[in-house]
A and B are shown apart, each in its own frame.
Chain A
Amino acid sequence: MNRDADVIVIGGGIIGCSAAYYLSKLGKRVLVLEREDITRGSAGATDGVVGYHTKKPGHQMDLAVQSIAMFENLSEELGMDIEYGLRCGGMQPVEDKMQWDILSEIVEEQRKSGVDIHMISIEEARQIEPQLAPDLYGALYSPTGGKVNPIRMTIAYFRAAKRLGAEFLTETEVTGILKEGSCVLGVQTDKGEYRADAVVNACGSWAAFTARMAGIEMPIKPRKGQLIVTEPIGPFMDCTLQCARYNVIKFRPETIKDPAVLKMGASLSIEQTESGGLIIGSTRELVGYDRENTLEAIETILKRAVRFFPALKDVCFIRAFAGLRPYTPDGLPIIGRVDALEGFYMAAGHEGDGIALAPVTGKLLAEQIVYGKESYSLEPFSPNRFL
């Protein structure tokens, strides 16, 4: 049988491009099939927070530690500046004692992964970020978090993979998975059939559709996040900053009493990009594949931004956009082989952590596909937990 590639990766987002790069690096002939274009999905519609402190304690945190270490020299490795702000730090100011207590608890668990995350007073926080409102209660602080330009990062992986021989077909939609018994043969697309030994589903928020083509149900749902971009201003802040509600909504949603807050999932996430503009988010809405902005969300997000940074009231916002984050029920990504279908692999469901976890996801998945065993166990993220 003629094969078009060793591995077919479906999806040209941050995860697909990362997987293509690390697979190519291990000598595989890779074909990436993308329905639209590189970074057209979530990788092109997000901020670039690469922090430890927003990660779920336990397995996800351990994975993040591995991944963030890889960012240190990623620009050099990929041969393109991905605007990685090394150790700019991450901070989560808290508004009251209750949030302080919840975050302190989460921090204790997060620290078990060996990362430096601790609680600091508002006075200390304002020494690091002087623009913070003085009437806040305190903050969680992680001195080692970073930030990156997610679009440049995806393109860097794409170009580096191409240099190593990977082939990318954009505007090519996968319409079916070719199987023989419980073995994958390749994929059917609107441009014809492509055959390979292995197929990777890196379709992000759309991964459940692709899995279903292979006869597999994956509980991945799109969760909308709305973001706002301001005009470029002078140096305003170094950290990537989320309000405490960000982690509370993410890890302890049961403590939130206001149903409106839960429905929109609005919490502040803010960073200054290299060009000077601020990216301000975000919401967490389960509203299907709708990618429109809403006036309520814009108002809610901006009100929170001004609550934490009063000086922002005089800054203009110039644009708003929304992206879809692939949500999973247990908050963990789905990475690795599907036992029921030989040659079929998942790499999706990272929700808001896709950028931060992309390097390690691509690297470990490539190792699993090439060597049969990865250097750091992907077991907790195995798709088989849902099958």
Chain B
Amino acid sequence: MREIITDVAIVGAGSAGLSAAYQAASAGADVLVIDENARPGGQLFKQIHKFFGSKEHQAGTRGFVIGEQLLDKVEKSGAKVLLDSLVYGLLPDKSMGVISKGQNYSVKAKKIIIASGAKENYMAFPGSTLPGVMGAGAAQTMINVNRVLPGERILMVGSGNVGLIVSYQLMQAGAEVVGIVEGAPKIGGYGVHAGKIRRAGVPIYVGHTVERVFGKEEVEGAQIVAVDDKWNKIPGTEKTFDVDTVCLAVGLNPMTELVWMAGCQFDFIPSFGGHVPLHDENMETTVEGVYVAGDVTGVEEASSAMEEGNMAGVAAAEALGYLEHEEAERRKQEIRGRLNTLRSGMFGAGRRSAKEKQLEDMKSYLAAHKRTAAEQKEEVFFA
């Protein structure tokens, strides 16, 4: 087995991973980014809509442009990006098993940053395995990256930002969206996205859920039904749609497999998508030298993923001695400030309190478990 030795290995070349790579490599560290996809950029290149927020977060710039700018920065920083490459294991000695173009490698890194992102939630109902039922993210990849229309008449399930944005983009790509189904009594995503959809005449059925999808070999139609405040279906309220595609935009969950393998401790935070790794202000987990960044730490959005990546990259570079403490602290302060801005307001405050709980739980864990450096040294000495 071939061996690759590097300072920092980063799993995932999306918003968080690329940002981490840029920070660590431009500080002077030897950085290797590994991604299973054929193209870098993660979800950024699917995002043809303009970003929100402040100027630092490139409000008004479209996602793929941000992706191109980030890639350019990473390239200039000297970080290496290994594409079409799968990290299949992370062992207790922190060596990673990587399959790249048919070759098996053992990657040994001083610091590991896991930025593996999130995957779409699935929803089960009669007919949910028929071809034509797909994740909204998958539909978005088909239209915006592969330039293939998944279907002509579409029912979207879920009115969060993903459901709203993908509905709009499907229409831009030439499909007809017959409606958006939302189980909650009100729309989940930003008003500005919902407004565009409503102005285009697409009905949003709040307080409804999918009853079933029917069809012989593929989706031929779908039936929805109203639900009461206890999510019980209300008989007699069924509506049937003639559709060939049903998209599910019912949330995401962090892809934490490698983080579990590394032996990290977890929190359970439903608003972040379920189990999320404990980490400190530096994005370091309970396993020394293993960092996390982006949606894997709790599902948020691209801007905060980039900032978490920046944080992990700076912290790893500092821990390796590539950044002086003062300089690292200055950069971290800036990043923290921007993260706090992102996690504020009507939509961000909830995420901020969830993140605070995660950081608090990390502190409690460390207080209970982490021995002092002196004790650890003593142990090694007497072993």
Stretch of B87-95, B148-156, B164-172 lying at the A interface:
B87-95
Within 8 A of A (CB), among B74-95: 89, 91-92, 95
State whether A295 touches B92 (Cβ < 8 A). no
B1 interface contact, C-beta 8 A: yes
A-side residues, CB < 8 A to B, are: 292-296, 298-299, 320
State whether B89 touches A299 (Cβ < 8 A). no
Additional 15 contacts, C-beta under 8 A, given A295-B91, A295-B95, A299-B1: A292-B91, A292-B92, A293-B89, A293-B91, A294-B91, A295-B1, A295-B89, A295-B97, A295-B104, A295-B106, A296-B1, A298-B89, A298-B97, A299-B104, A320-B89
List of B residues within 8 angstroms of A292 by Cβ: 91-92
A299 to B1, CA, bound (A): 8
List of A residues within 8 angstroms of B97 by Cβ: 295, 298
The residue of chain A having its C-beta at the shortest distance from the C-beta of B98 within the complex is A295
List of A residues within 8 angstroms of B106 by Cβ: 295
List of A residues within 8 angstroms of B91 by Cβ: 292-295
Contact with A along B1-33 (1 / 0, CB 8 A): 100000000000000000000000000000000
Report the 7 A-B pairs with minimum CB-CB distance, sorted nearest first. Answer: A295-B97, A295-B106, A299-B104, A299-B1, A292-B92, A296-B1, A295-B1
A33 to B222, CA, bound (A): 56
Within 8 A of A (CB), among B39-93: 89, 91-92
What are 15 A-B contacts with C-beta separation under 8 Å?
A292-B92, A293-B89, A293-B91, A294-B91, A295-B1, A295-B89, A295-B91, A295-B97, A295-B104, A295-B106, A296-B1, A298-B89, A298-B97, A299-B1, A320-B89
Main secondary structure of the interface of B (DSSP, over half): strand
The residue of chain A having its C-beta at the shortest distance from the C-beta of B3 within the complex is A295
List of B residues within 8 angstroms of A295 by Cβ: 1, 89, 91, 95, 97, 104, 106
A262 to B258, CA, bound (A): 31
Q: How far is the CB of B194 from chain A (nearest CB, A)?
A: 40
Give the total number of A-B pairs whose CB atoms are below 8 A apart. 18
Q: How far is the CB of A322 from chain B (nearest CB, A)?
A: 12
List of B residues within 8 angstroms of A299 by Cβ: 1, 104
A272 to B37, CA, bound (A): 31
Q: How far is the CB of A305 from chain B (nearest CB, A)?
A: 14
A197 to B95, CA, bound (A): 51
A95 to B362, CA, bound (A): 55
A158 to B211, CA, bound (A): 43
Q: How far is the CB of B355 from chain A (nearest CB, A)?
A: 32
List of B residues within 8 angstroms of A320 by Cβ: 89
A292 to B95, CA, bound (A): 12
Q: How far is the CB of B69 from chain A (nearest CB, A)?
A: 35
A292 to B263, CA, bound (A): 12
List of B residues within 8 angstroms of A298 by Cβ: 89, 97
The residue of chain B having its C-beta at the shortest distance from the C-beta of A298 within the complex is B97
Q: How far is the CB of A140 from chain B (nearest CB, A)?
A: 30
List of A residues within 8 angstroms of B95 by Cβ: 295
A292 to B90, CA, bound (A): 11
List of B residues within 8 angstroms of A294 by Cβ: 91
A292 to B91, CA, bound (A): 8
List of B residues within 8 angstroms of A293 by Cβ: 89, 91
A294 to B95, CA, bound (A): 9
The residue of chain B having its C-beta at the shortest distance from the C-beta of A296 within the complex is B1
A293 to B92, CA, bound (A): 9
List of A residues within 8 angstroms of B92 by Cβ: 292
A257 to B289, CA, bound (A): 40
List of A residues within 8 angstroms of B89 by Cβ: 293, 295, 298, 320
Q: How far is the CB of A308 from chain B (nearest CB, A)?
A: 18
List of A residues within 8 angstroms of B104 by Cβ: 295, 299
The residue of chain B having its C-beta at the shortest distance from the C-beta of A303 within the complex is B104
The residue of chain B having its C-beta at the shortest distance from the C-beta of A313 within the complex is B102
Q: How far is the CB of B118 from chain A (nearest CB, A)?
A: 20
Q: How far is the CB of A72 from chain B (nearest CB, A)?
A: 39
List of A residues within 8 angstroms of B1 by Cβ: 295-296, 299
A293 to B91, CA, bound (A): 8
The residue of chain A having its C-beta at the shortest distance from the C-beta of B1 within the complex is A299
Q: How far is the CB of B360 from chain A (nearest CB, A)?
A: 31
Q: How far is the CB of B224 from chain A (nearest CB, A)?
A: 33
Q: How far is the CB of A377 from chain B (nearest CB, A)?
A: 45
* Interface-centre pick from B92, B95, B104 (highest chain A CB count, 10 A): B104
A292 to B97, CA, bound (A): 14
A153 to B92, CA, bound (A): 32
Q: How far is the CB of B108 from chain A (nearest CB, A)?
A: 10
A294 to B104, CA, bound (A): 13
List of B residues within 8 angstroms of A296 by Cβ: 1
The residue of chain A having its C-beta at the shortest distance from the C-beta of B106 within the complex is A295
* Interface-centre pick from A292, A294, A295, A298 (highest chain B CB count, 10 A): A295
